[in-house]
Amino acid sequence: MSAAEAGGIFRRARDRTLDAFPSEKEREWKGPFYFIQGADPQFGLMKAWSTGDSDSGGDEWGQEIRLTEQAVEAINKLKPKPRFFVLCGDLIHAMPGMPWRKEQTADLQRVLARVDSDIPLVLVSGNHDVGNTPTPETVAEFQRTWGDDYFSFWVGGVLFLVLNSQFWYDASRCPALKQAQDQWLHQQLSIAGQRKCQHAIVFQHIPLFLHSIDEDNDYFNLTKSVRKEVAEKFIRAASTDDSALKGGSSRLPNLRLPSGEAKKEVCIKGLGPPSYISRKTILHVNYISIDPRRERKKPQGKRQDAKI
């Protein structure tokens, strides 16, 4: 599938927004809804890990295809339908410039094309998508293939922010791009306060932290200095009104933080309770309900667990 063909199916983010959701119609809070969050389909990872060659291995990804197809099938059966399906990065395993990247991308696009057309896809960049140390070229490749690497959109009165967390990991080869995202994020957080949105939710691949903001630096989190700086931005924005800025599994007062990189390894956990987070997933699929009354009404559909 070519990039042009994928663009016709995926309604890729452009101009820092997602046109699947017209903002003038979606800025008003209309009541509870839910969406599906997934992370790390990472076609090619299982073979790479099984051979112990995580860097250049990954010449097979049949298992990942089957697991992702099961996830798509389960999502398509849900009633009522989720407002969207977000994948929080590491869409494929092959890093920029590595073998199999084109083939893995084509197969993932083919599987994702089967997602119900009434369930928009929201695609987040991870380190395997733009590189551990991104460059203007790798970011541009992601944008051509999947859409903007950071953007915002409104759904049902909730402001969603998609970020490129690799800029906070290592922007040494693209400092201007990091600065541009930082400036854009400041503007978006100001908008969240001005419009008094019911909630603002952040999607990014690398979480600020896994358990505590003071935890040691690790492969699966951002460094202490970076995480505290970013968390302070989110906390200040959340304290400007009654909204809660949210994102994932870890918590600060009035703040829940993302995302994808903490969810690795070998199984699909599909449609479990919103609080369920697994650190052993290649593709983690979960529904998340947005309801200020904290009513978590589970959508109809059979839970899908596929273990290797």
Task: Please report the pLDDT score of residue 103 as a whole number.
Answer: 97
Write the DSSP assignment of the chain as a string of letters.
--HHHHHHHH---BTTB-TTS-HHHHSS--S-EEEEEEE---BTHHHHHHHT-TTT-----HHHHHHHHHHHHHHHT-BSPPS-EEEES--BSSPTTSTTHHHHHHHHHHHHTTS-TTS-EEEE--HHHH-SS--HHHHHHHHHHH--SSEEEEETTEEEEE--THHHH--TT-HHHHHHHHHHHHHHHHHHHHTT-SEEEEE-SS-S-SS-TTSPP-TTS--HHHHHHHHHHHHHHHTTSS-EEE-SSEEETTEEE--STT-EEEEEEES--TT---SEEEEEEEEEEE-TT----PPBS---EEE-
Q: Which of the four pLDDT bands, split at 50, 70 and 90, describes residue 245? A: low
Task: Please report the pLDDT score of residue 263 as a whole number.
Answer: 35
Q: Which of the four pLDDT bands, split at 50, 70 and 90, describes residue 49? A: confident
pLDDT, tens digit (0-9, with 9 covering 90-100), for 89-101: 999 999 999 999 9
Higher pLDDT, 142 or 296: 142
Is 43 in contact with 93 (CB distance < 8 Å)? yes
Is 204 in contact with 160 (CB distance < 8 Å)? no
* Region at 163 (left for phi over 0; alpha for psi -120 to 50; beta for the rest): beta
> CA-to-CA distance for 176 and 266, rounded, in angstroms?
36
CA distances from 12 to 53, 142, 239, 240, 291 (A): 32, 11, 32, 31, 27
Q: Which two tokens stand for residue 16?
A: 């820092």
Place of tokens 């201007």: 176
Q: Which of the four pLDDT bands, split at 50, 70 and 90, describes residue 236? A: confident
Task: Please report the pLDDT score of residue 280 as a whole number.
Answer: 34
Percent with pLDDT over 90 in the chain: 58
Task: Please report the pLDDT score of residue 285 as a whole number.
Answer: 62
Q: Which two tokens stand for residue 8?
A: 């016709």
Task: Please report the pLDDT score of residue 196 as a whole number.
Answer: 76
pTM (2 d.p.): 0.83
> CA-to-CA distance for 120 and 63, rounded, in angstroms?
25
Evaluate if residue 243 carries a pLDDT over 80.
no
Q: Which two tokens stand for residue 134?
A: 């991104």
Evaluate if residue 299 carries a pLDDT over 60.
no
Q: Which of 104, 272, 245 is nearest to 163 (CA)?
A: 245
Is 268 in contact with 306 (CB distance < 8 Å)? yes
Q: Which of 110, 53, 85 is nearest to 284 (CA)?
A: 85
